[in-house]
Amino acid sequence: MLSYAVLFDLDGTLTDPKLGITRCIQYALSEMGYKPPDGDRLHWCIGPPLKNSFSQLLNTSEDKLLEQAISLYRSRFSTVGLFENSLYPQIPETLQTIRSAGYKTFVATSKPYIYATRIIEHFSLSSLFDGVYGSELDGTRSVKGDLIHHILQKENLSPSATVMVGDRFHDIIGAKQHNIASIGVTYGYGTEQELTVNGADSIARSPDDIPMLLKDLRLKIFS
C-alpha cells in the first residue's frame, strides 16, 4: 500500500526562529571582532545552511574562519538561542488534520538533528511526527536535496506520494531534484516570488491552507 508523506521544513515553516538565529549570529560576529548587522538585516540567514550564511557575512570561504564562527554560534544556540523561538499559529492543529487524512509527517531541516529534536520536543510536537531529520554537526546533509534523498531512502517513500513544505527556495529546489511536489509557505522568510520562480507547485499563505493544498495536489497527481 502506497504511503503518502509530507516533509516539513522547520525554521520559517513550523516555527519562527528569528530571535535565536539572529542573536546567535550577532554574538559570533561580535566575538570575532566584527560589527554585526541589525537583526532585521539577517532574515536571509534563516533557512540556508549556516556555513553558507557565515561565508557571505564574513566574505570568506576559509574553512578555519567559518568553523570558528559556527562554533561560537552553536555555543550560544545550544543553551539559549534554541528556545528563542515561537510556534506559528495553527501548526499543531494543521499537523493533526494532515495526519488524520492519512499522511505520514516528517521534519526535514538543514538544522542539525540534535537541535531539531530538542525544538520539536520543546513545543510538544513529537507525537505529530513519524520522524525528525536534520543535518549532522559536520554539515553532512545540510543541503536540502541531500537530506530529502536520505529521507526517501530511509523511510522507503515514493517521490510521487511525497510533498515538501517549506519557506525558502532551498526547499523547493531540493524537492524538484527528487521529482516530489512542493508547497511554498509565505508566512515564513521566503517571498512568494522566490518560491514560485523556483517551481513551487502551490503557495500557502497560512498554515491552515496546507491541508487543502495537499488534497488538491494528491488529486492532481493521481487523476
Closest CA to 129 of 92, 163, 161: 92
In the predicted model, is pLDDT for residue 220 greater than 80? no
In the predicted model, is pLDDT for residue 191 greater than 90? yes
Percentage of the chain beyond pLDDT 90 is: 92
Task: Report the C-alpha gap between 204 and 100 in whole angstroms.
Answer: 19
Query: pLDDT of 142-179, one tens digit each?
Result: 999 999 999 999 999 999 999 999 999 999 999 999 99
Percentage of the chain beyond pLDDT 70 is: 98
- In sequence order, which residues have a C-beta less than 8 Å from that of residue 5 and are 6 or more positions away? 103, 104, 105, 106, 130, 155, 157, 161, 162, 163
Residue 139's pLDDT is 87
Residue 17 CB neighbours (<10 A): 25
Residue 217: band (very low, low, confident or very high) from pLDDT cuts 50, 70, 90: confident
In the predicted model, is pLDDT for residue 140 greater than 90? yes
Residue 219: band (very low, low, confident or very high) from pLDDT cuts 50, 70, 90: confident
Residue 182's pLDDT is 97
Q: Considering the chain, what is the average pLDDT of its residues?
A: 95
Query: pLDDT of 35-65, one tens digit each?
Result: 999 999 999 999 888 999 999 999 999 999 9
Query: pLDDT of 6-33, one tens digit each?
Result: 999 999 999 999 999 999 999 999 999 9
Residue 127's pLDDT is 98
Residue 222: band (very low, low, confident or very high) from pLDDT cuts 50, 70, 90: low
- In sequence order, which residues have a C-beta less than 8 Å from that of residue 133 and are 6 or more positions away? 106, 107, 108, 109, 113, 116, 141, 147, 150, 151, 154
Full-model pTM: 0.92
In the predicted model, is pLDDT for residue 120 greater than 90? yes
Residue 1's pLDDT is 62
Task: Report the C-alpha gap between 108 and 136 in whole angstroms.
Answer: 12
Q: Which residues are catalytic?
A: 9
Task: Report the C-alpha gap between 18 and 3 in whole angstroms.
Answer: 34
The cell numbers describing 86, all together, are: 515561537
Task: Report the C-alpha gap between 86 and 27 in whole angstroms.
Answer: 20
The cell numbers describing 54, all together, are: 557565515
In the predicted model, is pLDDT for residue 223 greater than 60? no
